[in-house]
Structure 1
């Protein structure tokens, strides 16, 4: 990806807003600076910050990810369990 003046100006503005709103310190020299800024803009409640994040995603050719990742479907048991149920490492154990 090419860092031109427009991309750098957008990154600087978004970085400044994220620092003020969320106390997030992102350095432009970080390897994951753009993805960290995009994640921060998605968590923001301010419309201008969100708009800057969308603009940065367009300029950097990176899709802006959703904040909530859908969980994998969990197969529930067909029958009604009898006895005690406990959870071990995310799995239901019927005793």
Structure 2
């Protein structure tokens, strides 16, 4: 049981860290939602793409947009920044 509570604590810390960085929140959550609202407002309600209603098709596209945007643009720079901070921390500890 100790491992499960520790895991939930680490997940909670990661969620808090995620929402502290406004760049992540903007590009991963807010931007796809804004695009979804705009695109569903522009096209007619009865539009279909290969038999799928446009609103559902656009929703899946915006979810993929958010995931790919995170993976391509933001996640790599976040990992590099964390590694750089860890290297500086280790250098300061070792000297």
User: Could you tell me the TM-score, scaled by structure 2's length?
Assistant: 0.26
User: When you count helix as a share of all residues, which structure comes out higher?
Assistant: 2
User: When you count strand as a share of all residues, which structure comes out higher?
Assistant: 1
* Higher RCO, 1 vs 2 (CA within 8 Å, ≥6 residues apart): 2
User: Could you tell me the TM-score, scaled by structure 1's length?
Assistant: 0.26
